[in-house]
Amino acid sequence: MNVIITGASRGIGLAIAEQFAAAGHTLLLCSRGGKQLYDTMGMLQSKYPSATIKATPADMGDKVAAQTFGKWCLDSGTPGILVNNAGQFLPGSVHDEEDGLLEQMMAANLYSAYHLTRVVLPAMMKAKKGHIFNICSIASLKAYANGGSYSISKFALLGFSKNLREEMKPHGIKVTAVCPGATMSASWDGSRIDPKRIMEAADVAKMIFTASQLSPMADVEDIILRPQLGDL
């Protein structure tokens, strides 16, 4: 099965890629950084020889780049799973954050998923099957101080997920919104957070992989994960 994963060179995206590579699937990966992406591709192919790993750099916050990546994926056939993981976190408050931050967050966290999904959906709809995972956030569910445009964009991604799910029900395509709490990733670099206080990226990946294994009659609509001690 072909599995598309964006933002796949580190963090949650890399953990998801490992789960599906271990199961022997064909992975179609992208991230903004070419070297790190190709290093990831090589590592996965070496570690999981039964899988097929393909990768190409793409800035998913750019509409044309997102659409081009989608067409590149379709060259390998109809995707069975799409994981819209690419995104960016920058803190701020609505009243004083830098001008243009909302546009940047919306492009990285919402438009990336919107434009890629629109490219690959016709093939999935024709196949009458498939599963789309949108990596939202706890910030999609509850506003918090210093969330600003990031939180706004993640609320929008959750709304996109809910709307898409209703549209795709007649076509046999599942849509799952994934809302992780604090997870060890590049966003926490330099924070000095206690590793025991934060989730591992593999925790999120395992839940996504498990949800993808259900019968065609069942859809996990929302996955909400938080650190055992609660939000940070």
Catalytic residue numbers, as ranges: 150
CB-based contacts of 108, cutoff 8 Å, min separation 6: 60, 61, 86, 87, 88, 153
Token pair 């919402």: residue = 110
CB-based contacts of 166, cutoff 8 Å, min separation 6: none
Query: How many Cα neighbours within 13 Å face the side chain of 1?
Result: 17
Q: What are phi and psi of 146, to 5 degrees?
A: 70, 15
Residue 188 has which token pair? 């926490």
Q: How far apart are CA 143 and CA 92, in angstroms?
A: 12
Burial label, 229 (beta-carbon count in 10 A; 0-12, 13-18, 19+):
exposed
SS3 86: coil
Asked if residue 133 lies in contact with residue 185, where contact means CB atoms within 8 angstroms, the answer is: no
CB-based contacts of 144, cutoff 8 Å, min separation 6: 151
